Structure 1
Amino acid sequence: MRVLMTVQFDTEKANRAIKDESMGATVRSALEHLKPEAAYFGAKDGLRTAFIVFDLQNPTRIPSAAEPFFQELGARISLIPVMDFNDVQAGLQAYGSG
Protein backbone atom coordinates (compact mmCIF):
# COMPACT_ATOMS: atom_id res chain seq x y z
CA MET A 1 0.00 0.00 0.00
CA ARG A 2 1.31 3.43 -0.91
CA VAL A 3 1.56 5.72 2.11
CA LEU A 4 2.55 9.30 2.78
CA MET A 5 4.79 9.57 5.82
CA THR A 6 5.02 13.10 7.17
CA VAL A 7 8.08 13.53 9.39
CA GLN A 8 8.28 16.71 11.47
CA PHE A 9 11.69 17.12 13.05
CA ASP A 10 12.17 18.39 16.60
CA THR A 11 13.88 21.77 16.15
CA GLU A 12 16.50 21.38 18.90
CA LYS A 13 17.47 17.82 17.90
CA ALA A 14 17.54 18.76 14.22
CA ASN A 15 19.70 21.82 14.96
CA ARG A 16 22.20 19.61 16.81
CA ALA A 17 22.14 17.02 14.03
CA ILE A 18 22.80 19.71 11.42
CA LYS A 19 25.69 21.13 13.45
CA ASP A 20 27.30 17.73 14.05
CA GLU A 21 26.58 16.78 10.41
CA SER A 22 24.61 13.64 11.31
CA MET A 23 21.24 14.76 9.93
CA GLY A 24 22.13 14.10 6.31
CA ALA A 25 23.39 10.61 7.11
CA THR A 26 20.29 9.79 9.19
CA VAL A 27 17.88 10.93 6.48
CA ARG A 28 19.92 9.30 3.68
CA SER A 29 20.00 5.97 5.54
CA ALA A 30 16.25 6.07 6.22
CA LEU A 31 15.49 6.88 2.58
CA GLU A 32 17.73 4.06 1.36
CA HIS A 33 15.77 1.69 3.60
CA LEU A 34 12.36 3.01 2.49
CA LYS A 35 13.14 3.23 -1.24
CA PRO A 36 10.55 6.00 -1.63
CA GLU A 37 8.61 6.82 -4.75
CA ALA A 38 9.15 10.47 -3.82
CA ALA A 39 10.63 12.51 -0.98
CA TYR A 40 10.16 16.24 -0.52
CA PHE A 41 11.34 18.58 2.22
CA GLY A 42 9.88 21.84 3.45
CA ALA A 43 8.28 23.46 6.47
CA LYS A 44 4.93 22.58 8.04
CA ASP A 45 3.57 24.08 11.25
CA GLY A 46 6.88 25.90 11.67
CA LEU A 47 8.94 22.68 11.69
CA ARG A 48 11.38 21.17 9.24
CA THR A 49 9.33 18.47 7.56
CA ALA A 50 9.87 15.57 5.18
CA PHE A 51 7.04 14.25 3.01
CA ILE A 52 7.89 10.72 1.93
CA VAL A 53 5.77 8.52 -0.32
CA PHE A 54 6.68 4.84 -0.24
CA ASP A 55 5.20 1.35 -0.57
CA LEU A 56 4.33 -0.07 2.83
CA GLN A 57 4.36 -3.73 1.88
CA ASN A 58 3.46 -4.91 5.37
CA PRO A 59 2.41 -3.04 8.53
CA THR A 60 5.27 -4.71 10.38
CA ARG A 61 7.57 -2.32 8.44
CA ILE A 62 6.17 0.70 10.29
CA PRO A 63 8.65 0.56 13.21
CA SER A 64 11.68 0.22 10.93
CA ALA A 65 10.39 3.09 8.80
CA ALA A 66 9.72 5.43 11.72
CA GLU A 67 12.30 4.58 14.41
CA PRO A 68 15.33 6.29 12.83
CA PHE A 69 13.38 9.55 12.75
CA PHE A 70 12.02 9.10 16.28
CA GLN A 71 15.32 8.10 17.85
CA GLU A 72 17.77 10.32 16.00
CA LEU A 73 15.71 13.44 15.37
CA GLY A 74 12.83 13.40 17.90
CA ALA A 75 10.35 13.49 15.02
CA ARG A 76 6.56 13.52 15.02
CA ILE A 77 5.33 11.13 12.36
CA SER A 78 2.04 10.50 10.61
CA LEU A 79 1.28 7.80 8.07
CA ILE A 80 -1.72 7.99 5.76
CA PRO A 81 -2.68 5.76 2.84
CA VAL A 82 -2.59 7.64 -0.47
CA MET A 83 -3.44 6.91 -4.10
CA ASP A 84 -2.29 8.24 -7.42
CA PHE A 85 -4.89 9.21 -10.02
CA ASN A 86 -4.83 5.77 -11.66
CA ASP A 87 -5.64 4.17 -8.29
CA VAL A 88 -8.54 6.56 -7.78
CA GLN A 89 -9.91 5.80 -11.24
CA ALA A 90 -9.68 2.04 -10.65
CA GLY A 91 -11.40 2.41 -7.28
CA LEU A 92 -14.21 4.49 -8.75
CA GLN A 93 -14.72 1.99 -11.56
CA ALA A 94 -14.89 -0.86 -9.04
CA TYR A 95 -17.36 1.16 -6.95
CA GLY A 96 -19.53 1.91 -9.98
CA SER A 97 -19.67 -1.71 -11.08
CA GLY A 98 -20.38 -3.06 -7.58
Structure 2
Amino acid sequence: MKMIVSVTLPVEPFNSLQREGKVGELMGRIMEDIKPESVYFTENAGCRAALMVVEVADASMVPKIAEPWYLNFEADCEFRLAMSMDDLIKADLNQLAKKWS
Protein backbone atom coordinates (compact mmCIF):
# COMPACT_ATOMS: atom_id res chain seq x y z
CA MET A 1 0.00 0.00 0.00
CA LYS A 2 1.06 3.57 -0.53
CA MET A 3 1.87 5.84 2.37
CA ILE A 4 2.50 9.57 2.38
CA VAL A 5 5.25 10.42 4.83
CA SER A 6 5.69 13.98 6.01
CA VAL A 7 9.04 14.77 7.64
CA THR A 8 9.59 18.09 9.40
CA LEU A 9 13.23 18.89 10.11
CA PRO A 10 13.87 21.30 13.00
CA VAL A 11 16.41 24.07 12.47
CA GLU A 12 18.77 22.27 14.83
CA PRO A 13 20.44 19.88 14.40
CA PHE A 14 19.93 20.42 10.63
CA ASN A 15 21.92 23.68 10.51
CA SER A 16 24.85 22.18 12.42
CA LEU A 17 24.88 19.09 10.22
CA GLN A 18 24.73 21.30 7.13
CA ARG A 19 27.68 23.39 8.34
CA GLU A 20 29.61 20.14 8.92
CA GLY A 21 28.83 19.05 5.35
CA LYS A 22 26.89 15.96 6.48
CA VAL A 23 23.32 16.66 5.31
CA GLY A 24 23.73 15.56 1.70
CA GLU A 25 25.39 12.28 2.61
CA LEU A 26 22.83 11.51 5.36
CA MET A 27 19.85 12.30 3.16
CA GLY A 28 21.34 10.26 0.32
CA ARG A 29 21.72 7.23 2.59
CA ILE A 30 18.19 7.63 3.94
CA MET A 31 16.67 7.92 0.45
CA GLU A 32 18.69 4.94 -0.76
CA ASP A 33 17.35 2.85 2.12
CA ILE A 34 13.71 4.00 1.98
CA LYS A 35 13.50 4.17 -1.82
CA PRO A 36 10.53 6.56 -2.01
CA GLU A 37 8.50 6.57 -5.22
CA SER A 38 8.70 10.34 -5.08
CA VAL A 39 10.00 12.97 -2.70
CA TYR A 40 9.37 16.72 -2.56
CA PHE A 41 11.12 19.21 -0.35
CA THR A 42 9.09 22.06 1.09
CA GLU A 43 8.51 23.82 4.40
CA ASN A 44 6.20 23.05 7.28
CA ALA A 45 5.53 25.51 10.11
CA GLY A 46 8.62 27.48 9.10
CA CYS A 47 10.91 24.44 9.10
CA ARG A 48 12.48 22.44 6.31
CA ALA A 49 10.28 19.51 5.34
CA ALA A 50 10.01 16.59 2.96
CA LEU A 51 6.95 14.80 1.59
CA MET A 52 7.52 11.27 0.35
CA VAL A 53 5.34 8.64 -1.24
CA VAL A 54 6.52 5.19 -0.22
CA GLU A 55 5.27 1.68 -0.86
CA VAL A 56 4.83 -0.30 2.37
CA ALA A 57 3.89 -3.94 2.74
CA ASP A 58 2.68 -3.51 6.32
CA ALA A 59 2.98 -1.34 9.42
CA SER A 60 6.25 -2.97 10.47
CA MET A 61 7.99 -0.83 7.82
CA VAL A 62 7.17 2.42 9.64
CA PRO A 63 10.21 2.27 11.97
CA LYS A 64 12.54 1.63 9.00
CA ILE A 65 11.20 4.82 7.42
CA ALA A 66 11.05 6.96 10.57
CA GLU A 67 14.13 6.04 12.61
CA PRO A 68 16.75 7.52 10.27
CA TRP A 69 14.94 10.87 10.42
CA TYR A 70 14.42 10.70 14.19
CA LEU A 71 17.97 9.65 15.00
CA ASN A 72 19.86 11.92 12.58
CA PHE A 73 17.69 15.04 12.43
CA GLU A 74 15.39 14.85 15.48
CA ALA A 75 12.61 15.18 12.91
CA ASP A 76 8.86 14.90 13.32
CA CYS A 77 7.33 12.24 11.06
CA GLU A 78 3.68 11.78 10.12
CA PHE A 79 2.26 8.83 8.19
CA ARG A 80 -0.90 8.71 6.10
CA LEU A 81 -2.24 5.85 4.02
CA ALA A 82 -2.95 6.90 0.46
CA MET A 83 -5.58 5.47 -1.88
CA SER A 84 -5.67 5.61 -5.62
CA MET A 85 -8.95 6.03 -7.47
CA ASP A 86 -8.97 2.25 -8.03
CA ASP A 87 -8.62 1.70 -4.27
CA LEU A 88 -11.53 4.04 -3.62
CA ILE A 89 -13.69 2.20 -6.17
CA LYS A 90 -12.84 -1.14 -4.51
CA ALA A 91 -14.08 0.29 -1.19
CA ASP A 92 -17.63 0.27 -2.64
CA LEU A 93 -18.84 3.49 -1.03
CA ASN A 94 -22.41 2.89 -2.27
CA GLN A 95 -22.60 -0.38 -0.33
CA LEU A 96 -21.13 1.25 2.76
CA ALA A 97 -23.67 4.07 2.52
CA LYS A 98 -26.51 1.55 2.37
CA LYS A 99 -25.15 -0.38 5.33
CA TRP A 100 -24.52 2.63 7.57
CA SER A 101 -27.34 5.02 6.63
Query: Cα RMSD (Å) of the superposition?
Result: 1.6
Q: Which residue of 1 aligns with 2:94?
A: 96
1:1-98 superposed matches below 5 A = 1-91=1-91, 94-96=92-94
Q: Distance in 2 between matches of 1:86 and 1:24?
A: 37
The alignment covers a number of residue pairs equal to 96
Gaps of 5+ in 1: none
Gaps of 5+ in 2: 97-101
SS of 1:50's partner is strand
What is the TM-score when the length of structure 2 is the normalising length?
Answer: 0.84
Q: Distance in 1 between matches of 2:3 and 2:75?
A: 17
Instruction: Using the TM superposition, name which of 81-90 and 17-26 deviates more.
Output: 81-90
Larger Rg: 2
**Percent identity, aligned pairs only?**
23
- Please report how far the alpha carbon of residue 90 of structure 1 lies from its aligned counterpart in structure 2 after TM superposition: 3.5
Which aligned runs of 4 or more in structure 1 are off by greater than 6 angstroms?
none
Q: Provide, for residues 7-57 of structure 1, a one-character-per-residue CA deviation record: whole Å limited to 9, x for no partner.
A: 000111110111112111111111111111110001111110000110111
